[in-house]
Every structure is written in structure tokens, then in C-alpha cells.
Amino acid sequence: MSLLDLFIEAGNLKKLPRTGWLLRGVSNPESIADHSYRVALITLFLADELRAKGVEIDVERALKIAVLHDLAEARLTDIPLTAQYYLDKGKAEKKAAMELFIRTPNPREYFRLWREYEEGLSLEGRLVKFADKLEMLVQALEYEKAGFRDLDEFWGALDSLRESEFYEHFRELVEELAGLRKQNR
Amino acid sequence: MSLLDLFIEAGNLKKLPRTGWLLRGVSNPESIADHSYRVALITLFLADELRAKGVEIDVERALKIAVLHDLAEARLTDIPLTAQYYLDKGKAEKKAAMELFIRTPNPREYFRLWREYEEGLSLEGRLVKFADKLEMLVQALEYEKAGFRDLDEFWGALDSLRESEFYEHFRELVEELAGLRKQNR
Amino acid sequence: MSLLDLFIEAGNLKKLPRTGWLLRGVSNPESIADHSYRVALITLFLADELRAKGVEIDVERALKIAVLHDLAEARLTDIPLTAQYYLDKGKAEKKAAMELFIRTPNPREYFRLWREYEEGLSLEGRLVKFADKLEMLVQALEYEKAGFRDLDEFWGALDSLRESEFYEHFRELVEELAGLRKQNR
Amino acid sequence: MSLLDLFIEAGNLKKLPRTGWLLRGVSNPESIADHSYRVALITLFLADELRAKGVEIDVERALKIAVLHDLAEARLTDIPLTAQYYLDKGKAEKKAAMELFIRTPNPREYFRLWREYEEGLSLEGRLVKFADKLEMLVQALEYEKAGFRDLDEFWGALDSLRESEFYEHFRELVEELAGLRKQNR
Amino acid sequence: MSLLDLFIEAGNLKKLPRTGWLLRGVSNPESIADHSYRVALITLFLADELRAKGVEIDVERALKIAVLHDLAEARLTDIPLTAQYYLDKGKAEKKAAMELFIRTPNPREYFRLWREYEEGLSLEGRLVKFADKLEMLVQALEYEKAGFRDLDEFWGALDSLRESEFYEHFRELVEELAGLRKQNR
Amino acid sequence: MSLLDLFIEAGNLKKLPRTGWLLRGVSNPESIADHSYRVALITLFLADELRAKGVEIDVERALKIAVLHDLAEARLTDIPLTAQYYLDKGKAEKKAAMELFIRTPNPREYFRLWREYEEGLSLEGRLVKFADKLEMLVQALEYEKAGFRDLDEFWGALDSLRESEFYEHFRELVEELAGLRKQNR
């Protein structure tokens, strides 16, 4: 197995739809790669802003986590909540992530980064989790603006943004999002 | 929970793509419901032909199994082979099927039918399995005829058709399919 | 002509969109096969419930009719109402159905079943008609829930459900559907 | 009924796929309007070239025919060959065209133009027929170049181009097309 | 370079989406060719009506302009407003149009027609501009009717229709459109 | 203007297709965001490998460049080669990038990073360029494997990979890709 195989397999993320939108009637929803891209973009700006505010954060580490955090879905697909009730997604992702990283020069490092996200073990891992939720809500906002209507339950994630350790730093951003959402309705 | 909820949930099967094709570059592949429909159609004709040949078969039972056999995917999505290595799909489907059938007037009967397919417990269950594989190969044939090229590995299923107890009855059909495939290449 | 040819031709039902939705701006609507699948599923549960209530109904027959009722559209496509004003769809379907069934071992039986649906000649045929309309309305409900808005005229079918002989048995189901629709608006 | 209604109804041509491609596995084929547009473009250049060669041709008339020739499909959809065997498409189109043109200021003129195409009554009508076939073959060429494979039977139309009265004027064009097709295979 | 090359290149207009809709969340929007087709159709009826009202107008010329007006987009794509702020689209279209027309027998004539549209040099060119805006609004109306919601800014074009020299002739049409829009909201 | 606005605008990259594929008949091609995601992934692994080999490289910088390098296309769309002949894309991107970055806390830094890519001013910028081309070829390989055929001209980029300063480090990877391509044909 080579790095090229890994790059080819990552191509699955472009083909696979985000099933949460699909199941609520968004007919051609974004791909997993679409989502991951904006998570990385958001992570970049939030991490830099934290650093500017004097928070000690490793931006390289945060970006790597953002790029890697959904890679296991290249094998697992985007398993929706309705399925997670029946399947041990966490365990499966862990195993798939390990086997994917085995092909790389630094399997240990990448797997540790992946766990930092999954288990919230580092500031950087938790920041990507914050960015992951924020990204989903920005997308929900866009779909609702376009006319889609069955997306209420996604907005529960707003609470977890507000309860996050990062909320004090990005309160304005989160509340601006919440405000735009109200206008949409 | 009502029958209407069940019908609405079954609507997921129309939205969810069959991931095997998707991952091999078929851009707008059939839905799970598309597949299930033709499985039912094939089951109907094969079951009637078996009966005409003197095989004792319960056609009603076979048709019910065909209609129900993928229903659990309304909650689980079409989990591809690459994921099944990491997830206990069988166990998840069993549990999801049970919880779906709970809403119906005859949960026991439907769950028994579902198990007949899954575990090959009855002639009718095994016939739907045969129809399920046959359907997939007819679809592979159509995609290849249209120009798609990365579908070789699906054709391994031809062997399992040939080893099936139904092969003696449908040899001509199976070999006609195999012949058309050769022409495509 | 062989059964395999029939199965391949039935594949057209997966490719062909239901034109009613398409013409009202649903961009990637369900296929004819998508629709037929859920008609079969609904038929299964309604027929079993009728039987449980002591109604004499042949469930095998009902399921066969459900699977076969739109098969002629594999040749005719889903001709919309705007076209039926100019075309004798009924006559065309009859002829196409006959020529499709000719390839099967029991052309007479299948054609009789098809007529039972088309002309309402049997309880089972009329039940599939009921299921066919119900399926369409469940789909309309889902599209409206997702945000699509130009589907009012489909809801006229609610009246024909209420006037049906099956309404007394499925009043609750039909009215639950009507209620959900009101919430959507 | 107003002109605006007619313009809105013509919007159906954008939504409706050309079913010939769809049934051969081209997953997102061109719309009827896509096709009609290029027929008009081809008509423009061929008509001007004929005029330059001294052929007496009414270019305005030719362009009008090109724009109007598929308008009835806004009500009828693109009924494929498999269906035309069972349906009197010609009669239906005639009636639908008449009723569409009724809303316009000059129903007689437009209907006469439509008949010139349909029945080959004028040089201009026949030129649009030639352009219509040519357009279809250029599209087949493009789909084949992209990788689609099940389009052989369309190329029968090459013969009718060669037998046309316009072949002497556009021999080079037609044979260049035939040559490119050979390279594709 | 041959006419056939030009026809093939015009095929790009079928593949390219109108980016204005795409960027506002319409998932499978019309193609440029879809739009151009209806511009030609609208031009036909408006030009004939003007002539009937005694306005001296060259209908052939108007139709040619309609068919040619977006041809340069086969090379440039539909560059959205957000991009035009950074790019000299006008200059680029002029050059691309010239180079496309070079392949035709009458490059000068076609380029002059194209300029009549672009620069409003003739009555016919300005009529196509009017038809172009009208077409866009009819499409916006249809998308809004289907449920899409982020299209407000397109309706600014209503003012330019009202300020046009053609408004006096098509006041009723324009106001009917404006009225339907109000109902949609 | 806020960071949220920037995140929303970046959502355009999910909606916009990569036009190179679209124009060659790939019907639902990847989005710009799809592409950018894998460029970031490739950059991550190549940068880490370079560092492991003793090359002094700033991985954080490389990842930032990868995430930002196509951001200006959120305003400009993916302008294809056929258009770049008529438009000064470089100048437009520069201006659009500047105006996008103005909204961020560190406009200077981001713009400098963007220029490092665009003008090849740093090792990290040139590595992302290498990753950008490599990503495109991996995608071409996948489309060809799926059956698409009109992608020959993309493979010219193989030469620029071979001429790159990074070729000595990734020779095996590049030649493995070239080898797989030969098998596809």
C-alpha cells in the first residue's frame, strides 16, 4: 500500500454525500470532502485568531486534525444518526483510521491527532470539533436560505457551541449566525 | 408510532444511493428503492416459474420477503463492503428490522420473514437472495453497457448464482446474462 | 425474447423520473421504480391489515398487481396529465402491457392482474389503486416538508382516498396524513 | 391565456430530459430546450450558407420553425420511440401545437410553420428537420467522446442526412462528422 | 476550423450552468443553452407583436441576435456578477465572439449583430436585451414557485424592463409577471 | 464584513463545479471545495515526508497555503483555460484574494501566503502547486477508471510534475500514477 492508494481512497470523500442533508430532502447535498474543506478553512481562521488573542495553540496541529478528522469515512461513509443507534461507529472509525494511517510514514502521529479530535484530548482537537459543528450550522443556514425547510433539528448544535470553551472567544460569530438564522425563518 | 411513520421512513430508500456504484464512479446511481423494486419484480417471475415447474413455493411469502428485505437500510443506509469490515452490519440490521416491524400489526411475522432472507431459513428467503444478486448483476450489465468501467469485482457474484440450488432451474437465464456481459467488454 | 430482456427493460423504470414532480420544479425527483417500490410496501401492510380485520383478500394477488401495475411505463415513460389530454394513454398502456407479458410464462394471468388494477375489477386491484394514490401523497408530504411549494394540486387525491371503499379501514391513516400536511403549510 | 403563460409553459422544455439518452444510461442528459437551442443555431448557419450559395430561402421563416418545432413537447414530454409504437404522437403534437398557438396573436401563421416542419411542406421546414437530425448526431458524438457507449442506433440517422436534398450543400460537414465518429470508436 | 467545430463548441452551453442560480442554492439550475432557447422564443413572439403593432422591426435580425447573443459563453462560461467586478467581461466577450465568428462564412455580419445586442445599437439588439431580462425573471418566478427563496436581488431587473422603450408595448405582460411574483411570496 | 461572511462566501466553493471536467462531459464533476480538500490532504503528507527526509519546510505554512489557494474562486468561479485566453485571471484573482482577506484579522499574512503559491515565492507555495497538479491527475485517473474518455490533455501536467524540484523526492509516487494511467487505457 502506498501514499497514492491513500490519496485515491480519499477520493471517496468527494463522491459520498453528507447523509444528514440527503435524508431531509436536500437533493444534491454537499460531499464529505466539501464539508471537510470548510472545516479546515474555519479552523485556520479561528486558530490564528486564538493565537492573536494570546491563547497558546499549535496551528499546524489544528490544521492537520481538520484535514484528517473525517478520513475514516472514506471507508465507512457518512453513517447518519439513525444508524449510529445500531452500530458502534466510534469503534469502527478508530479501527478504520488506524488501518488507513498504517500506510503513511507516521502512523502513530496521525492516529494520535485523530484521537485528539475524537476524544477531545487536546485544545486543537477540541477546536476542530467546534469548527466541525460551526461548519454544519453555516451549511444549514445556507440551505435554509435557499428554501429547504426540514433542518430544525440541526440547530440543537448551537447549544453545544455556546457551552464550548471557545464560546468566550467567538461569541460574536456564534450569535451573528444565530441571528441570521432567525431572519431566515 | 404509526404505519404512516413507517411509510414515511421507507421514503429514505428513495433518497439513498446504492453506495457500491457510487464508490466506483457511477455519478447518479440507482437508489436502494430502485434496486428493491426490481428484486421484487424478479422474485415474482422466478417464483411463478418455479411453481409452474412443480416446485412447492409460497409466492406470497417470497414477495413479502422481497419487499421487506432491505427495509432496515432506511435507518442504516447502504453500508458498503469497505465498511462492513469494521462494523457488525448483520447485528445492526437485525435490531433495526425488529424496531421497524414493532410498529406494524404483525411484528413477529415480518421479522421471521426478514430472518428467512438474512439467514436463508426458507426456500423463499433463499430465492430472494438469488434474485437480489441477479438484480445487481443486471444493473452492472446496464452500467457497463452505458460506458462505466470499474465494475469487474461485482461479477464475482456470478459464481454464487451458479452454485445456488436455483441454478438448475434458471441456468439459461444466468448464462444468457454471462454471455451479454462478455459482449459488453 | 426472454425473461432477462424483461428484467433489463424494467430497468428503464429506474432511469425515468416521475414527471409530475419534475414539471413542478422538483429537480431530481424520484424514479418510477422508486414509486412502485413504496406502492408494493404500502400494499403489503394494508392487505395484511385488511386480512387481520376479516376482509377476504388475496395478498399474493395484491402484491403481484403492485409490482406489475406500472411496468408498461418502461416503454411509455411517465406520461403527465398535460399529455394525457392529447394521447390515449389507457389504450397504449394496455397494448404495451400485453406485449411485455407475452414474454413471460403466464401472459394471461399477468395481463388479467394488470387489468384488475387498471379497471378496478377486483378488490386487490382497487387496493393497489388506493395504495398508489396514498404513496403519491406521502411523497408530496415529504417534498413539501423539504421546502418544495408548487404541489397543491396533488392533494386533490385526498378526496378520492376519502371516497374509497377502503377509507373506513384506514381512516386514521388518511387523516393523520391530512393533518401532517396542514402542519407543513 | 396570455403570452406570459406560454413563456412559463415553455419553461417545461428546460426541465424535461431528452429520453433517448436517458434510456441508454446517460445520467443527466440534455434538456429538450438544450437541444432546441442548438437546432436553432445550426439552422441559422446552414440557412445563411444556403442563401450565400444562391438557394432561395427565407431565413426568418427557418429560424421561427426551429424555435417552434418542439414546443408541443412542453405538454407532451419527449415521448421516446419505444412509446411511439403505442401512441399516435403525430396527432397529439398537432393538437397540442394548435392549442398552444391559440394563445398567440398569430395562431394560424405559427401552426402553418409548425406543419411545414412536421410534414416537410417547405424548404425551410425540411432544413430544420435536417438540422434536428444533425444536432442529435453532434450530441451523440459528444456523449461518445465522453465515454458513453450505448448509442449506436442513433447513427442510423446519418443515412437520412446523406439522402437529404441538403446533402449536396453540406456533404463536407456531414462527412467530417462521420469521420470524427469513427475516431471515437 | 469548420462549422462542425463551432457546433461542437456550442455544445458547451448545454453543459454549463447559469451561475447566478447556482450560487443562490438552486442545485441543478438551467444551462446557458436552456436560457438562450427561451430568449429566442420570447424574442420571436415579441418581435412579431411589435410588427403587428406597426413597429418597423426586422424579425430575422432579432432572431439571429437572440441565438448568437450568449455564444461567447461557450468559451467564457457564465461569469457571475461577483466576478465581473474583477474581470473585464465585456472585452473578453468581444474578443471571444470575434474569434468564434471567424470560422463562419460571414464573420462581419455575425459580429455586427452581436455588437447590436451588446451595445444596444439597433432596435433588434435592444429587444433581445429586453427578452433576455424578461426570460431571467420568468425563470426566477418559476424557481420561487417551486420553493427556492434566495432570489430577491434578481427582481431589480423589473425596473429596467419598466424603463425600457418596449415597456409601452408590453406593459401588460410585465405587470402580469410582477403580479404573479407578489402571489408567490 | 465579518469572518462569518467569509465562511458563508467560501460555501460557494462547494456549489461550483470544476469546469475542466464539466466541459469534457463528466456530468456531475467534483466541486472546487472537493478539489481543495484533497490538495490539503496531499500537502499534509508530502510536507511531512519532506520534513522526515531532512528538508526544511514549514508544514503549517504549507497547509495554510493549501486551504487558501483557491479561495478567490468563491468570487471568480473556476474559469477554464478556454476563457483564460481572453481574461486576465491572474490579476483578477489577486484583487479578489486581497478583498477577501481584508475581512480577516491578518490580511497581510494571508495575502502573502496566497502570493507564495501564485508566484512560487516559497518552497511551501511551490509544494502546494505540486500537490494541486498531482490532485488533478489522481482525479483524472479516477474518472478514466470509471469510464470517462476525453481527458487526455490533462495528462500533460505529468511533465510538469517530472520537472519539479520535488520530483526527486516523490519519483516513485509520480511514476506509480503514470503506470496506473497506462493500465486504464
Mean pLDDT of F39-50: 98
Question: In the prediction, which pLDDT does E1 show?
Answer: 66
What's the 3-state SS for B87-126?
Answer: CCHHHHHHHHHHHHHCCCCCHHHHHHHHHHHHHCCCHHHH
Question: In the prediction, which pLDDT does F1 show?
Answer: 66
**% residues pLDDT > 90 (chain C):** 97
Mean pLDDT of C116-141: 98
Rounded CA-CA distance E42/E45 in Å is: 5
Q: What is the dihedral of CA C49, C54, C56, C62, to 10 degrees?
A: 0
Touching subunits of F (3+ CB pairs, under 8 Å) are: A, B, D, E
- pLDDT tens track for E81-90: 999 999 999 9
Residues of chain F contacting residue A41, judged by C-beta atoms under 8 Å apart: 7, 10, 67-68, 71
Q: Which of C30, C44, C60 is opposite residue B67, by nearest beta carbon?
A: C44
Rounded CA-CA distance D90/D67 in Å is: 18
Rounded CA-CA distance C28/B85 in Å is: 32
- pLDDT tens track for A42-88: 999 999 999 999 999 999 999 999 999 999 999 999 999 999 999 99
pLDDT of residue A123 exceeding 70: yes
CB contact under 8 A, A19 and B77: yes
Could you tell me which chain F residue has the CA closest to the CA of E73?
Answer: F83
pLDDT of residue A184 exceeding 90: no
Touching subunits of D (3+ CB pairs, under 8 Å) are: B, C, E, F
Chain centroid offset of residue A85 CA: 20
pLDDT of residue C1 exceeding 70: no
Question: In the prediction, which pLDDT does F92 show?
Answer: 98
Cell of E43: 424574442
Only one residue has cell 418559476, namely: E142
Mean pLDDT of A174-181: 98
Instruction: List the one residue out of F32, F13, F40 whose CA is nearest residue F131.
Output: F40
Pairs of residues, one from chain D and one from chain F, whose beta carbons lie less than 8 Å apart: 21
Mean pLDDT of F107-136: 98
Banded model confidence at residue D62, pLDDT cuts 50, 70, 90: very high
Rounded CA-CA distance C49/C54 in Å is: 9
- pLDDT tens track for A128-157: 999 999 999 999 999 999 999 999 999 999
Is D142 near chain B, with CB under 8 Å? Answer: no
Rounded CA-CA distance B174/C7 in Å is: 12
pLDDT of residue D1 exceeding 70: no
Cell of F7: 465562511
Pairs of residues, one from chain B and one from chain F, whose beta carbons lie less than 8 Å apart: 21
pLDDT of residue C153 exceeding 90: yes
Question: In the prediction, which pLDDT does E184 show?
Answer: 84
Residues of chain C contacting residue B180, judged by C-beta atoms under 8 Å apart: 4
Instruction: List the one residue out of A119, A102, A44 whose CA is nearest residue F110.
Output: A44
Banded model confidence at residue A185, pLDDT cuts 50, 70, 90: confident
How many residues are present in chain D? 185
Only one residue has cell 451573528, namely: A176
CB contact under 8 A, D148 and B145: no
Rounded CA-CA distance A30/A150 in Å is: 16
pLDDT of residue A1 exceeding 70: no
The amino acid sitting at D171 is R
Asked if F141 contacts F180 with a C-beta cutoff of 8 angstroms, the reply is yes
Its CATH class, for the domain covering C3-184, is mainly alpha
- pLDDT tens track for D114-144: 999 999 999 999 999 999 999 999 999 999 9
CB contact under 8 A, C28 and A28: yes
CB contact under 8 A, A77 and B79: yes
Asked if C142 contacts B11 with a C-beta cutoff of 8 angstroms, the reply is yes
pLDDT of residue F85 exceeding 80: yes
Mean pLDDT of A147-172: 97
E103 CB-side CA count, 13 A: 15
Mean pLDDT of E109-133: 98
Asked if E122 contacts E116 with a C-beta cutoff of 8 angstroms, the reply is yes
Residue C71 per-residue DSSP state: T
Question: In the prediction, which pLDDT does E177 show?
Answer: 98
Low-confidence stretches of chain B (pLDDT < 50) are none
Banded model confidence at residue D185, pLDDT cuts 50, 70, 90: confident
DSSP E18-50: -HHHHHTT-SSPPBHHHHHHHHHHHHHHHHHHH
Rounded CA-CA distance E37/E152 in Å is: 24
pLDDT of residue F73 exceeding 70: yes
pLDDT of residue D184 exceeding 90: no
Residue A29 per-residue DSSP state: P
Rounded CA-CA distance A154/A164 in Å is: 17
Touching subunits of A (3+ CB pairs, under 8 Å) are: B, C, E, F
Residues of chain C contacting residue D97, judged by C-beta atoms under 8 Å apart: none
Asked if C181 contacts C141 with a C-beta cutoff of 8 angstroms, the reply is yes
Could you tell me which chain D residue has the CA closest to the CA of B145?
Answer: D150
Rounded CA-CA distance E12/F22 in Å is: 9
Measured between alpha carbons, how far apart are the two ends of chain C, in Å? 50
Mean pLDDT of E119-130: 98
pLDDT, greater one: F138 or D105: F138
Centre a 10 Å sphere on the Cβ of residue D106 and count the other Cβ atoms it contains.
Answer: 15
- pLDDT tens track for A90-108: 999 999 999 999 989 899 9
- Rounded to the nearest integer, the mean pLDDT of chain A is 97
- Rounded to the nearest integer, the mean pLDDT of chain D is 97
Asked if F55 contacts E62 with a C-beta cutoff of 8 angstroms, the reply is no
Cell of A131: 469548527
**% residues pLDDT > 90 (chain B):** 96
Residue A17 per-residue DSSP state: B
Instruction: List the one residue out of A180, A155, A130 whose CA is nearest residue A24.
Output: A155
The amino acid sitting at E184 is N
Centre a 10 Å sphere on the Cβ of residue D104 and count the other Cβ atoms it contains.
Answer: 20
Is C31 near chain D, with CB under 8 Å? Answer: no
Three-state DSSP class for residue C31: strand
